[in-house]
Structure 1
Amino acid sequence: MKIRTLLSILLLLVLALPARAQDPDYLSMMAQESEIKAIATVTKVLAVAHNADGTLNNVTFKKVYAITPYVPDSFVGGCKTFSGGWQKRAEGMVYFNPRPGQKVFVTVTTNGGAITSFTPMNAALDHVVRNEPHRLAYSHGRASIEPRD
């Protein structure tokens, strides 16, 4: 009886994880804890699967500048894009739109893992990433700059 109860609780927790992963606050936490945080250039976008809730892509990046250690010169992250038409937006899902040649600040759980934030570069973001990375905040799949104290 105890084992059955324990297994039931474990099953419910496992089934709740994918739904929780779509919560933007959960995505912010994942971005904060990502192994790869870097300024990078998108080199290749490969569509892996077309689904009703978006297209799953593998995105290859070339590192320009990393704020976490051991970031490889080239790394891969997965994300969903939304094309419209027959696809319907999933509630709570964060979609990215990577394009080859685009320079971005990106966070990826691990090489080959999920993209947790994807932000096009600008001069202010470049300065903060390189000089004050503690001022970065993450929300809804994007990095933003927190004000100075």
Structure 2
Amino acid sequence: MTIKETQLEVLDEMSMFDESIEKMEYLIDMGRTLPKIDDKYKTDEYQIKGCQSDLWLNAELIDGKIVFTASAAAMIPRGIIAVLIRVYSNQKPEDILNDDTNAFIKAAGLNDFFQMTRSNGLEMMIRQIKLYALALETKIKN
């Protein structure tokens, strides 16, 4: 599936819920599907800085596509990173870099789950995904 196809699938799933509590339960369920990060990556180097919850993200290039794994201590950040991984894992770095992630975040209402003081964590998750994509795209080209 392409990034856009996966985003549309997530948006379709989320549109079934009218209440914020239902969307929150969806995110918690998504968090249960999170591809677990190996404990060796639970270090400062892989930790998402700026996130109030402990959250680690790793990316590996496999057959020209990025495969993400993560771990998060809190349920909502775990669910949100699971959604992001669902969308961006197994995609080419250039496709991740070219995607308008902010438009997806807005359409999905993922910002709605954070107070202003915590929205920095979501921005840092997206930033780290894009940084991994940039680094791995460079690796492919060299």
Which has a greater percent of strand?
1
TM value normalised by structure 1: 0.27
TM value normalised by structure 2: 0.28
Q: Which has the larger radius of gyration?
A: 1
